[in-house]
Amino acid sequence: MKTRALYGGAAAAALLLGYGCAVAPHRIDPAGDQTLTSTHRIDVKDWQTAALKSIDSLLASGALNRADGRKTIVMVGEVKNNTSTPVNTRILTDKIRQAILRSGKAVTTTAVGAKGAEEAAVRQVRELENDDLFNQATVQKRGTVIAPDMSLSGEIVQQSNRVGRVEESYFFFHVVMTDLATGLAVWEDNVEIGKQETKSIFD
C-alpha cells in the first residue's frame, strides 16, 4: 500500500509540475502551426483562411474586370460582427484589400468608407484653398477625387453547440462585392470554419 501511494503521489506531483512550468515569451510564425486555437473565438489562422479563400474566389469570379480596361475602384464598407465576442473586422478587410491591390485588377479608395473617410487628409488638404500660407498652385483641387465603383462588405456569424463534453463552433464569413452604380451584388461567397474540443471531465 505504501508503494502504491508513493507512486500515486509521484504521478500527481509530476502532473502538477508539468502544468506549472512556464514558457518564456517568444516569437512565432503567424502563418505556422504554433498559433493558439480557441473554440469560441476567431483566431489568427481563421482570419488568414477566410481572407485567402475569399480573395481567391473574388479574383477567379472576374467581378473586378472592366470592359474599358480601367482598374475597378473599391471602397471598404462595413463587416458586421455577429459573434459572441468582440473582434476587429478590419483584420479581414485589410487582408482582402491588400490582396486586391497586389492582384493589379483594382485599386482601393481611402477617401470614403463605412464610417467616413479612412484618410481624413483627402478632405483636409482641399480646405487649404484661399489660405495665403500655402502656394495655391500646390493645393489639391476640389472635384479631383475619384468615387468608387464597388463596395466590399460582409458579416461574420457564429453558431455554437455542445453535446456532453464536446463543444464546437462554426464561423461563417460572408463577403459581398456590390456594384455602386446599380446596387447589385456582383460577387459573394461564404467561408466556413469549424472548431471542436472535448472538455475535461472536471469542467
Neighbour tally for 191: CB within 10 Å: 20
Mean pLDDT over each residue of the chain, to the nearest integer: 84
pLDDT at residue 9 tops 80: no
What confidence category does residue 5 fall into, taking pLDDT thresholds of 50, 70 and 90? very low
Task: Return the pLDDT at 19.
Answer: 52
- The SS3 of residue 119 is coil
pLDDT at residue 13 tops 70: no
pLDDT at residue 45 tops 90: no
CA 14 → CA 4, 22, 176, distances in Å?
Answer: 15, 14, 53
- 148: number of CA atoms within 13 Å, CB side? 23
CA 166 → CA 39, 48, 85, 194, 201, distances in Å?
Answer: 11, 26, 20, 13, 11
Task: Return the pLDDT at 145.
Answer: 92
Domains (range + CATH), the chain = 30-109+146-198 (3.40.50), 119-144 (no CATH)
